[in-house]
Structure 1
């Protein structure tokens, strides 16, 4: 009996030790409280949509696991967050989003309660861009004094109560400011790899400075300063490089521009020597084609870079922005 009791006690001790080791292994595999939701010990970063995903990947490198809430081909403005996504967000070490761009994401971010939550809108200065072209245009363009004109009812998106234009990533200078802020957030969340994050941030902002220079030089001398697009997303780009953006009424594939707006755009196209009506990869080209047929203009793609798909003219932000520059230079008659 004593031998049996001793043997049973030894078995219980062995099982207890094995269970403890297994529990420790599971906690290590899950990353513990220090590494959030990443299963491989990397920093778990959740980005709300592509431009922030790109920054996290470029700056984080091999030290991060990046997930995005907005899948390829999904229009970010219309994203509905699932309860499962909301739950997963709370496991992130760093959460990147842009308030007032995606109302569903804003609500989920408030519920997630992630300590290292970064609102890209706070990393740069957002601006309001006119949503009505009005009756008179001032087309005397100096550097950085372009105008953004949309329909009187707005550009078809709910940009929150602030009235600020959220499409700030299409300005390489402001996007670089956001990159600096994302880099700082990663350094704070993962100080052991801070040196690499700083190095990667400097490399990326250097590329963005180069992109800004290409845009300035490429759009300095053009036959026209006005471009027409279905989506009023290019106000920051237009302002940075002294251009006029004119947007067609509505971006919903089922909506149609009003007859008054169509007539106005026809007049603007003739007066401003517009050659091309631009549409985007994630929205219907129907309204652009209607206007192009009525005015004899060409159609082309100007990508607001809200997501990358197989239709994108490039594999990442930098390549698509290069493609956008080429499209603008051709449409505006760059010399």
Structure 2
């Protein structure tokens, strides 16, 4: 996807900065217009990882909706007129810039007071794929040309899949908690309490990954698209993506040959595919190389096919799949 950077228009007297929070607000308190008839802050999120954060941290004080319905591949989402209206009526918007270009554009044009870009709440990095790096050299060039794909605010060519690293996701959670405290100060104490509880869950998940992947027969895994760069870096693994960061890109014959060589050299056992994207290439590669297949879920949405009911459960399923594929001891 070709995602051009879009800078939201700030209509407020000033921007509230919390750590690196991109939060546009006319004031630090919520108004009646920000809340529904039930008195809850109207929160609109872009896709599941943002929806989960808002629901966990907001608790009983928020009414959370998501623009990306279950089972919909989020990257190419096109908004309906009703969803555009929903954005304008929101008391708080939580999104991740660089994942959904149509959503980025609509949020930039939204009249909502409180807009938080999760990409500004942690440090984004550039993750390439050996032999298939769609983003090589874009870190400098992209800033000048303005045509970077999947770029976070101010970081051309950066990988946006921060939620797949429990540590980075916890950093984002803390920023979201602080921004909700500012947007709805009457309930700040509860937002703080809920943030602390969620961060504790994510710390526990991180510990499970550390322990589960500490000693393995191989450190290399092959997956459909390169969504797991942060996870691989966090736990000392090597991700080999069939496609690049964009799940819709097609691998070249040379890339397929490279992966076959890597699989043999690194004793790879499994080719991972995901729930919302085609598994055709992954299964073909696995068949040609005599490898197994399994699901490694990038958690861009929860469906009845997901191996878990929420973020924590699906990530634990991902851990179990990696432990099996990598020969954890």
Question: TM-score range, shorter-chain basis?
Answer: 0.7 to 0.9
Q: Report the counterpart of residue 315 of structure 1 in structure 2.
A: 309
> TM-score w.r.t. structure 1 length?
0.81
Which structure's residues are more often helix, by fraction?
A: 1
Aligned runs of 1:64-75 on 2, under 5 Å? 64-75=62-73
C-alpha displacement of 1:278: 0.1
8 A Cα contact 1:225 1:242, kept in partner: yes
Between 1:121-130 and 1:241-250, the stretch displaced more is 241-250
**Matching residue of 2:79:** 81
**Residue 182 of structure 1 pairs with residue 176 of structure 2:** yes
Q: Figure out how many residues of one structure are paired with residues of the other and give that number.
A: 286
SS in 1 for 2:256: helix
Matched, 1:51 2:73: no
Q: Which residue pairs with 2:216 in the alignment?
A: 222
Aligned CA-pair RMSD: 2.0
Separation (CA, whole Å) in 2 of partners of 1:159 and 1:82 = 22
Does the C-alpha gap of structure 1 residues 60 and 176 become closer, same or farther in structure 2, counting only changes over 3 Å?
Answer: same
Listed one character per residue, the Cα deviations across residues 228-264 of structure 1 (whole Å, up to 9, x for unaligned) are: 0001100000000000000113688987532211111
SS in 1 for 2:89: coil
Q: 1:146 maps to which residue? A: none
Q: Which runs of 5+ in 1 are unaligned?
A: 1-31, 135-150
- Partners of 2:316 and 2:249 in 1: CA distance: 30
Aligned residue among 264, 271, 285 for 2:265: 271
Shift of 1:75: 0.9
The answer as to whether partners of 2:128 and 2:134 remain within 8 angstroms in 1 is no
- Highest CA radius of gyration, 1 or 2? 1
Whole-angstrom CA distance in 2 between matches of 1:159 and 1:269:
28
CA distance in 2, matches of 1:256, 1:326: 28
Deviating more after overlay: 81-90 vs 67-76: 81-90
Inter-partner Cα distance in structure 2 for 1:254 and 1:192 = 44
Task: Look up the match of 1:104.
Answer: 102
Q: Which residue of 2 aligns with 1:4?
A: none
- Asked whether the equivalents of residues 48 and 68 of structure 2 are also in contact (C-alpha less than 8 Å), the reply is yes
1:300 corresponds to: 294
1:159 corresponds to which of 150, 161, 181: 150
Deviations, residues 283-326 of structure 1 (Å, cap 9, x unaligned): 11111100000000000000000000000000000000000000
Distance 2:40 2:296 in 1: 36
- What stretches of structure 2 of length at least 5 have no aligned partner? 1-29, 137-147
TM-score w.r.t. the length of structure 2 is 0.83
Question: What's the CA shift for 1:35?
Answer: 4.5
For the Cα contact (< 8 Å) 1:252–1:283, is it kept in 2? Answer: no
